[in-house]
Amino acid sequence: MSTFVKNIAITFSSRFLAAVFAGLSTIVVARAFGPVGKGIFTMVAFFPSLALNFGHLGLGNANTYLIAQDKRKTQNAFYNSFWYGLILGWFFIVVFSLVYRFSPSILLGKGDMGSWAFYLSLSVIPFILWESFYQGIFVGRQEFKFFNLISLFSKVLLLLGLIGLVFLWKVNLNNLKIAIIYYVVLMAFPAIVYTIYFVSRYGFPFKFDKMIFSQAINFGIRSYIACLLSFLVLRSDIYLINYFRGLKEVGLYSLAVGFGDGILLLASSIALVLFPKITENKEKSLDMTLKVTRMTSFILGIILFMSFIPARWFIPLVFGTKFEASLPAFYILLPAIYFWSINSFLTQFFASKGYPWFAVWIWLPGLLLNIILNIIFIPKYGIVAAALTSLWAYLLTFILHFICIKFYRRVRLSQIFVPHKLEVRELIEKLKGLSFIKD
């Protein structure tokens, strides 16, 4: 098995199992706490995610980019990452706390999750930043097994803990706090383990490497802007749904989004492994990206098509009839997921080229379209409007990616979407041996 495919297999299998356990945890939360409780869990995870996507400065991707080219930078990249996460984490804790103190409606709108849940959510921000930065180091070294297993283990612990709390301790919506505390601890768990791992190898991070910081910022700020814009395209609808419609619809929409995220596991796993590979082999980066894109789009198209039918009975059966209202949004998000996957591969290609500025701003038109349409239509049409605007935003972003690819080479749409017959045959044959692309 090639190293490339082995890393994909490790990443996808661990993420798939993690998604299974996370999905089972979602079922427990939905059944035990209903749409409002599910909405509180979603918002507790939302603010650390918001801080990560506003505050990471592209440093996780910069770690991958720099270490993929020179693995000797690992130790000082860890040192810098520790201080990045600590300083940036506390900065966001202070900023969010001040906004909440003087104008809580700006952050929460109609969905008041309670101050206790809000501050618990903020407490995990440094850990979420550390997790992202440290994973960039592992990816740059193309060492995927350890951090994927830790991430999986945290999801297993989450499910087991929630089952114990709900079925043994009889925790419900009226005494939700203990479940939220456990959830927050598990969110911090991977970063704690990664920190112990790096400290045991390199010692406590007393140093700060200014040269690596300068190199990381040079690449990272471009990656940061692109990732921030893409995150806002992907998740701004959660904030606006909560602002205009409240926690119940956040709970419904987050279920549809969660299923979409589960389907995206294959694409995100491949994109994660693809980035350091094409950074090492820049002369072949476009050919490799196009091949991976069309082969994965072929598989994803089948998966998405087959997801239409079972969702109608699966969601009400497993999560309860209260969540049947999430089905229209889920159906609309399926084609949106397809275009998001294609965008994720093309983005990795531009990242391997050092993120030229024209590629950084690709996400901005889609973001503006998404926000404007959401503000206009979410108050009246709710989660269906949020799903439709996401679809249009992802499609527009793909069109812009396709146009920008042409700065490097004339590329046809078929080279992105349609695998060759020989490639399909190669895929079928080599999937049997878990290999479909050569090193």
SS3 403: helix
CB neighbour list of residue 167: distance below 8 Å, 6 or more residues apart: none
One DSSP character per residue, 170-216 reads: ---GGGTHHHHHHHHHHHHHHHHHHHHHHHHHH-S-----HHHHHHH
Burial of 306 (0-12, 13-18, 19+ CB in 10 A): exposed
Nearest to 197 by CA among 117, 268, 278, 134: 134
pLDDT of residue 1: 41
* Predicted structure pTM score: 0.73
The angle subtended at Cα 7 by Cα 220 and Cα 188, nearest 5°, is 60
Q: What is the mean pLDDT of the chain?
A: 86
Is 159 in contact with 25 (CB distance < 8 Å)?
yes
- Indicate the pLDDT class of residue 427, thresholds 50, 70 and 90: low
Check pLDDT > 80 for residue 422.
no
**Cα gap 239→253, rounded to integer Å:** 11
**Cα gap 347→359, rounded to integer Å:** 8
In the numeric block, the tokens 């005494």 are attached to: 175
One DSSP character per residue, 268-333 reads: HHHHHHHHHHHHH-GGGHHHHHHHHHHHHHHHHHHHHHHHHHHHHHHHHHHH-GGGGGGHHHHHHH
Check pLDDT > 60 for residue 332.
yes
One DSSP character per residue, 73-133 reads: GHHHHHHHHHHHHHHHHHHHHHHHHHHHHH-HHHHHTT----HHHHHHHHHTHHHHHHHHH
**Cα gap 303→204, rounded to integer Å:** 45
Is 125 in contact with 48 (CB distance < 8 Å)?
yes
Q: Give the count of beta carbons closer than 10 Å to the beta carbon of residue 94.
A: 11
Check pLDDT > 50 for residue 287.
yes
Summarize the confidence of residues 289-318 as an average pLDDT. Answer: 83
- Indicate the pLDDT class of residue 117, thresholds 50, 70 and 90: confident
pLDDT by residue (tens digit) across 68-98?
A: 888 888 999 999 999 999 999 999 999 999 9
Most confident listed range (3-12, 183-192, 400-409): 183-192
**Cα gap 394→71, rounded to integer Å:** 35
- Indicate the pLDDT class of residue 431, thresholds 50, 70 and 90: low
CB neighbour list of residue 96: distance below 8 Å, 6 or more residues apart: 47, 51, 107, 122
- Domains of the chain, residue spans: 3-431
**Cα gap 216→230, rounded to integer Å:** 20
- Indicate the pLDDT class of residue 137, thresholds 50, 70 and 90: very high
Is 273 in contact with 77 (CB distance < 8 Å)?
no
**Cα gap 131→153, rounded to integer Å:** 14
